[in-house]
Amino acid sequence: GAGVSQSPSNKVTEKGKDVELRCDPISGHTALYWYRQSLGQGLEFLIYFQGNSAPDKSGLPSDRFSAERTGGSVSTLTIQRTQQEDSAVYLCASSAYTGGYGYTFGSGTRLTVV
């Protein structure tokens, strides 16, 4: 597609429920990233996928968070047993190159846990 597409745009969920956030990167982009932006904060790295390599999961805050990327394209970020502190904007980005080029970001999913 023309840009990075994320769905849903907004999600309200009850504490304890599981949620899935979807990211559809730009066609042909081999690198895909997830970041979290809590209220009033900068972006916090969560996970990075590059082609068929094992993902860099070093930023995932707990084992309730997981992500997968199917067929080297679409990615899903799953949060199990959501907590109120999980409320944030989850941003996805993709890149055609590694090594210093800027990413293309999506518009994010605003997750609210009530």
Partner 1 sequence: AQTVTQSQPEMSVQEAETVTLSCTYDTSESDYYLFWYKQPPSRQMILVIRQEAYKQQNATENRFSVNFQKAAKSFSLKISDSQLGDAAMYFCAYRNFGNEKLTFGTGTRLTIIP
Tokens of 28: 């042909």
* Stretch of residues binding partner 1 (CB under 8 A), selected from 21-29, 64-72, 77-85, 93-101: 93-101
Contact between 107 and partner 1 per CB under 8 A: yes
In the complex, least distance from residue 17 CB atom to partner 1, rounded to whole angstroms: 23
**Per-residue contact track with partner 1, 54 to 73, x per CB under 8 A?**
--x--x--------------
Minimum gap (Å) between residue 87 Cβ and partner 1: 15
85 contacts: CB under 8 Å, gap ≥ 6? 113
For 38, what's the count of Cα atoms within 13 Å in the CB-facing half-sphere? 10
